Structure 1
Amino acid sequence: MHAVLHTIKIIFQKHKYLSIILLLINISLGILPLISVYFVQSIINNIVRNGSFAFVSFLFLLYILVSILSSILSSFQSYINGKISNYLSLEMEYEVLNKVSTLSLSEFENEKTYSEIDKLTNEAPSKPYEVFSSLNTMLISFVTLISGYIYIFNFNKLFALLLFIITCISTPYLLYMGKEQFTVHWDRTESERKNWYIKYIMTHDFSVKEIIFYNLQNDLKEKFVKLKKSFIKQDLHLLKKYSLFSFIYDLGTTIISGFLILGTIKSIIVGKALIGTLTSITQIISLTEEHTRTLISSLYTMRYNLMLLQKLYDFIGTPSDNQVSENSKLFLENVNTISVRNLSFSYGTKPVLYNLNFELHRGMLVALVGTNGSGKSTLVKLLSGLYSTNNSDEILINGIDISKYDKSTLHNKISILFQDYVKYEMSLRENIGFGNLSDINDDLKLENVIKKYANSLPKDIKLDDQLGNWFSDGKQLSGGQWQSIATSRAFFNNKTDFVILDEPNSALDSLAEKKLFTEFKKFVSKSKLGLFVSHRIGAIKQADLIIVLDHGHLIATGTHEQLIKNCKVYQELERAEKYE
């Protein structure tokens, strides 16, 4: 009920006058069929009674006017429904995107939360309108049914009561079935996501090479079909129960309607009713049966939609990790020092960092090295504010806990080239300009950055050219070219104080990596703090400070010359690099 009231409240707040007009139209559309039936009955009875042609013609004219009015109102209803639907869908999708934009990285990386986000973002935004549409349909059906029952009640009280009772009895069962449908679909969200993923990797270029090379097509298709068949089995089970219920309900109403029509025929034979009454009774029975089916179908689907809507409203209304008021947070003007004190971090119950301690200063060029799985990327996410520390005062910027700074000002002062950087299927301008949106239309600055850090791009490429191959006229690039664009994005904000390159060597050879480190050093100079994350030693020998991690522990800090003499892990990394 809360979801229904909340949906109605949203619609009336956004579209008050249209909603009132639609409500009045729906009530009218519910009554007009009965008025039409009444005129048909009157016309037939007047013909039987040898009524005057003028009066019969007048009744027929009223019948035509009612039909025209019904058509006009139906057209208005369709237009208003479409208008509310389009705007409501946009508003709800915006609300979902607005909520998603407040989620923290850790929330996205939580499997349960991600499945919920996937389900809600794909299905839920359209549900408010679907519920509203169902309520409209149910209102029309309800008005028609009540009017029909009143008409039948005046003719035969017993049959009217029986039809009313059978409809009331069916309602709780339909609501139960709607709940069961929701539970089945909600519980299989992760499996549906797996099925979507199989189809996704089979139909996109980034994975096709391996699928063809390793001949994975049949195996993936089998997995897809197996999951899909399990969904079909569940859906058919629900459909079987619904179909059985519909059959029993239709059988009951048909028997009652049959006896009602038989009683009407008997009344006509004995002279208690005219032939027009039989016509009206059969039409009203047809109307009530049609609108009862509509009501049943709407109840069944609306129960599912309401439960999903409740999840959506709970999702939007629940504060996320990042939805803490930023009003009281501090404005970060500059990053002068970063102090890490007794920093430990866990993913749930799994510890990944243990009691780290070090201090960084503006003007330093720092390298963070370690084997894969040593905790480097986790530390980067903590230093950049993407993860929150488990305890306060573990990471301090200018002597103040990082969590006390406004997130937007914090991120304005930090630039990152992520290890798993994004290849935006957008224009070259956007791919680089996203690094600093305030300068995205500064063509001269963009071209200078491209010339400096992405000179391997095709010479004829323009700033507004589409990149990638998802959309028409897109330019496909090599792995190294994509990385040069990601690097340009990281260096585009020259107002940043803290620059991080997280494992930038994934698509670079040793010479290219060394060149990148040289450019990085120039960009950082003495006015910024730079952090270069790598598991290779060759490119980072000139760093002012090298931090060595191993399985989450800080093993040593120092210059290359110091570590190569005193740190066993560092020595092993250099030896391993010689064999690459």
Structure 2
Amino acid sequence: MLVEIKKLTAELKPYKKSIIIIAITGVIYAVASARIALMTKSLFDSLSANKHDEIIRLVPIALGLAFLTGISRYFHIYLMNYIAECVVQSIRQKLQQKFMRLNLSFHNTYAAGSGGLISRILNDMRVIQDGLRVVADVFLHPLLFVFLLGNLFYIDWKLTLATFVMIPVIGGILKSVSRSMRKYIPQERDAMEYMTSTIKESLDGVRIIQSFNLEKDMADRLIKDSDKYLSIRKTVYKRQEAAGPATEFIATAIVLCVLLYTSYEVAAGRATPGTFIGFITSLLMLNQPIKRFQEAYVRIQEVIISVQRIFSIIDDPSEVPEKPDNKPFPSDWKKIVYRNVSFTYGKEMILKNVNLEINRGEVVALVGASGSGKSTIVNLLERFFDATSGEILIDDINIQDLNLKDLRRNVALVTQDVFLFSDTIEKNIWAGDYSRDVKDVISMAKLANANDFIMKMPHGYQSRVGDRGNLLSGGEKQRISIARAMFKDAPLLILDEATSALDTASEIEVQKGLDHLMEGRTALVIAHRLSTIQKADKIVVLRQGEIVEVGSHQDLLANKNEYFRFHSLQHT
């Protein structure tokens, strides 16, 4: 618990001056409110004694205190709410940046998927934001409690001591509620993650869902997730609200006992009506700080759980490590060498002692059945994750010794599953390298064989592509992706099944763009269609994570081994 509070406190440090103002206004509010409560004794005593001059003197003071209370409370709450917004935005940005730094192994194995991560960045952050707002209550209301308690001791210290024998009982109730919150809130957050994941899948997979008539199945899945979430929330609400009636009953009982006691004291002449009014006013006002502190205490339990969940990701070590004394990518490199490279995913061995040499300017094709390790080889080159053993060298430099951004700046990626940002065509191509002049976008689009269809669109290069590019056809998206890779102008090129999902007509158009893209570059090409890689300088054949053949198209056909079998299957 202390660890989470320290982490949250660290986020508040940039707002030190505002927090000082919050503290000062909190003190002013507490002092002024308590003073107004105490003044009721003097006002009623003056009223009972017909001291009108005293009443005329006290009323303006009371009004001034009321005005001071209102102003101080305004700044106290307003500043705390604004700081809560700022802190949450800061943590949300850190979380998003962390998502983008975490390696692919983390994203691929996260139980609730991207929907679960979205839940943390939205739902858990909302809990933290709401919790930070009550920090003002945690500071203000204990102060108000202390000053009101001072009133009570000032008026009748014996009665005050007798009244507060119930404080341990209230503390015990709060402690019990706290234990319950820590038990059920993590379960609630997990249930919310799975619910968010189901909703996201319903949106992402709407085409498949409608095609296979899975609407009811997905609806039932969300109902099941919702029922689990509601069941846990029901228990949480029970625990949260259980403390309220108990403490309110105790408070009511105390007020009635005070009323009975004071009535005897007034009748015996040992107290005045003003004493009773002043004591009851302060005592009743005590109910507010107790209740608000109780609510804040419960809310903080929720915040602590959410902070744990958020920072468990922010502090997650699953990032590709980068050495502080890293080196720039060599501009005059001659070759890439995979030396005894193995990679394990969970308990499964994906690559086994891969040895491969790629000379600068070569087109190297990777061939093999699904799961043979083709994509893993190229993913390791960009360090989306690191090899379990062995090393990848660019000349004599291990890629783990290179600056990560510089390494990736020198690699352009074109994949089968094209990702376009929900922005304009121009912005998606320019994303290849924002440091370049945006005017170069058109020339790259022409080389990618994309300019003609772009100019036919209503707004040309300013046309928006929709979510993930869904306003474009598959071939059009792929040509935008190729133009983006051209705009990046990286010496290394990775083509991961770049044409496998296209029809013949689209493939011809896209292949023209790819031919321009590959000119003068070192290319690693993954392709199921062997017809697209026959001109490769080197074809690498993989089987179950091992390289079984390397050679040209003609040489491998002549060997009549694994490649020959693939070729025969595609031409029968």
TM-score by shorter chain over 0.5: yes
Distance in 2, Cα, partners of 1:31 & 1:475: 61
CA offsets 1:275-326 (integer angstroms, 9 cap, x no match): 2233233322322122211111110110221233244445434554334344
Match of 2:401 in 1: 404
Letter aligned with residue 160 of structure 2: K
Distance in 1, Cα, partners of 2:243 & 2:167: 17
- Matches for 1:361-400 after TM superposition, within 5 Å: 361-393=359-391, 395-400=392-397
Q: What's the % identity of the aligned pairs?
A: 21
Distance in 1, Cα, partners of 2:210 & 2:113: 30
Distance in 1, Cα, partners of 2:81 & 2:239: 33
Q: CA deviation at 1:145?
A: 1.7
Match of 1:506 in 2: 500
The number of residue pairs the alignment matches comes to 564
Match of 1:179 in 2: 182
Letter aligned with residue 374 of structure 1: S
Q: CA deviation at 1:128?
A: 5.7
Q: CA deviation at 1:93?
A: 2.2
Match of 1:545 in 2: 538
Determine if contact 1:535/1:573 at 8 Å carries over to the other structure.
no
- Matches for 1:99-498 after TM superposition, within 5 Å: 99-111=98-110, 117-125=117-125, 130-154=130-154, 155=156, 156-186=159-189, 189=190, 191-202=191-202, 204=203, 207-313=205-311, 315-317=313-315, 319-393=317-391, 395-439=392-436, 441-443=437-439, 445-453=440-448, 454=450, 455-457=452-454, 459-460=456-457, 461-468=459-466, 476-494=471-489, 496-498=490-492
SS at match of 1:178: helix
Distance in 2, Cα, partners of 1:302 & 1:501: 50
Distance in 2, Cα, partners of 1:307 & 1:479: 44
Distance in 2, Cα, partners of 1:355 & 1:265: 92
Distance in 2, Cα, partners of 1:118 & 1:280: 53
Letter aligned with residue 499 of structure 1: L
Change (3 A) 1:343 1:518: farther
Match of 1:34 in 2: 34
Determine if contact 2:181/2:236 at 8 Å carries over to the other structure.
no
Q: Which moved more, 1:404-413 or 1:304-313?
A: 304-313
Gaps of 5+ in 2: none
Determine if contact 2:198/2:222 at 8 Å carries over to the other structure.
yes
Distance in 1, Cα, partners of 2:207 & 2:96: 33
Determine if contact 2:4/2:304 at 8 Å carries over to the other structure.
yes
Distance in 1, Cα, partners of 2:460 & 2:470: 11
Change (3 A) 1:32 1:169: farther
Determine if contact 1:363/1:528 at 8 Å carries over to the other structure.
yes
Q: Which moved more, 1:307-316 or 1:403-412?
A: 307-316
Q: CA deviation at 1:62?
A: 0.9
CA offsets 1:362-421 (integer angstroms, 9 cap, x no match): 12112112222222111110122222111243x211132221111111111111112333
Determine if contact 1:427/1:463 at 8 Å carries over to the other structure.
yes
Determine if contact 1:365/1:521 at 8 Å carries over to the other structure.
no
Match of 1:2 in 2: 3
Gaps of 5+ in 1: none
Q: Give the root-mean-square deviation of aligned CA atoms.
A: 2.6
Determine if contact 1:149/1:164 at 8 Å carries over to the other structure.
no
Determine if contact 1:27/1:140 at 8 Å carries over to the other structure.
yes
Q: CA deviation at 1:81?
A: 2.2
Q: CA deviation at 1:486?
A: 1.4
Determine if contact 2:340/2:390 at 8 Å carries over to the other structure.
no
CA offsets 1:18-75 (integer angstroms, 9 cap, x no match): 1111101112222322211122221111010111x22201111111111111111122
Q: CA deviation at 1:269?
A: 2.5
- TM-score by length of structure 2 reads 0.91
Distance in 2, Cα, partners of 1:406 & 1:385: 11
Distance in 2, Cα, partners of 1:207 & 1:359: 40
Letter aligned with residue 180 of structure 1: K
- TM-score by length of structure 1 reads 0.90
Distance in 1, Cα, partners of 2:197 & 2:131: 29
Distance in 2, Cα, partners of 1:334 & 1:513: 34
Change (3 A) 1:504 1:391: same
Distance in 2, Cα, partners of 1:543 & 1:50: 108
Q: CA deviation at 1:233?
A: 0.8
